[in-house]
């Protein structure tokens, strides 16, 4: 299929207008996605104040921020899908409402972070989180799959974490193995998701009075995140 530069740029503009900070486009055919082989990845950085406050423990402010940013991401990808539908293309925005999660593994059939790396936005850190040069892992992302022949960005296929293991050392669950990511790597080689999930729920209960699967410690201490904070006065 011949790529359409115009539709890609129109979609990028639409997503940025609705509140995205970064937008990347990915060719997902080699990842086994056939019906809707192209994807847009939408990224919003978390506010520096909320990130700075979770260097020791998750806060209620971070919980509220986490949910509000996720809600905005849903709005953005829904708007992108509506735009593509208006152009005659099929589109599937992956939102909190329609994402299919495996409760046991915390995995989804739609690979958010895989799309992000293939869209050129960053790499997967030793924490198993997306790491971006601009914001570290202090980001939230959403995806939109389509059959529109988007002109795609250059995939990121190499980690830039090097010998750094700050996330592993600081993980409250001792769940990070310290391995270096390569494309198509099994998540379990990077992190023990069961230990991570159970510790997150336990810490949130102890600190804030309710269970939730958020923590943020690993990305708050990431040097790339710290660089983002320093750039903004923290």
Separation CA 45–CA 156 (nearest Å): 19
Can you give the pTM of this predicted structure? 0.92
Among 27, 41, 130, 35, residue whose Cα is nearest residue 77 = 41
Among 104, 127, 123, residue whose Cα is nearest residue 114 = 123
Separation CA 218–CA 35 (nearest Å): 36
| Amino acid 108: pLDDT | 66
pLDDT digits (tens, 9 = 90+) for 143-200: 999 999 999 999 999 999 999 999 999 999 999 999 999 999 999 999 999 999 999 9
User: Domain limits of the chain?
Assistant: 5-231
| Phi-psi category of residue 197: left, alpha or beta, with phi > 0 → left and psi -120 to 50 → alpha | alpha
Token readout for 31 is 């990842």
pLDDT band for position 105 (50/70/90)?
low
Residue 6: how many other CB atoms lie within 10 Å: 10
pLDDT band for position 31 (50/70/90)?
confident
pLDDT digits (tens, 9 = 90+) for 2-27: 777 799 999 999 999 999 999 999 99
Q: Three-state SS for 74?
A: helix
What size, in residues, is the chain? 234
């Amino acid at each position: 299929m011949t790529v359409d530069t115009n539709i890609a740029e129109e979609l990028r503009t639409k997503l940025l207008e609705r509140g995205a900070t970064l937008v990347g486009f990915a060719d997902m055919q080699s990842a086994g996605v056939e019906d809707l082989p192209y994807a847009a990845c939408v990224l919003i950085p978390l506010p520096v104040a909320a990130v700075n406050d979770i260097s020791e423990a998750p806060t209620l402010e971070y919980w509220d921020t986490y949910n509000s940013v996720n809600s905005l991401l849903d709005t953005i990808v829904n708007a992108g899908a509506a735009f593509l539908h208006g152009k005659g293309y099929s589109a599937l925005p992956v939102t909190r409402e329609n994402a299919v999660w495996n409760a046991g593994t915390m995995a989804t059939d739609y690979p958010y972070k895989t799309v992000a790396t293939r869209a050129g936005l960053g790499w997967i850190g030793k924490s198993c989180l997306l790491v971006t040069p601009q914001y570290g892992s202090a980001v939230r992302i959403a995806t939109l799959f389509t059959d529109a022949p988007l002109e795609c960005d250059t995939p990121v296929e190499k980690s830039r974490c090097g010998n750094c293991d700050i996330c592993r050392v600081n993980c409250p669950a001792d769940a990070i193995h310290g391995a270096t990511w390569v494309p198509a790597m099994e998540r379990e080689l990077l992190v023990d998701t069961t230990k991570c999930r159970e510790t997150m729920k336990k810490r949130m209960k102890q600190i804030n009075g309710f269970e939730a699967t958020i923590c943020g410690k690993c990305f708050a201490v990431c040097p790339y995140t710290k660089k983002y904070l320093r750039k903004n006065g923290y």
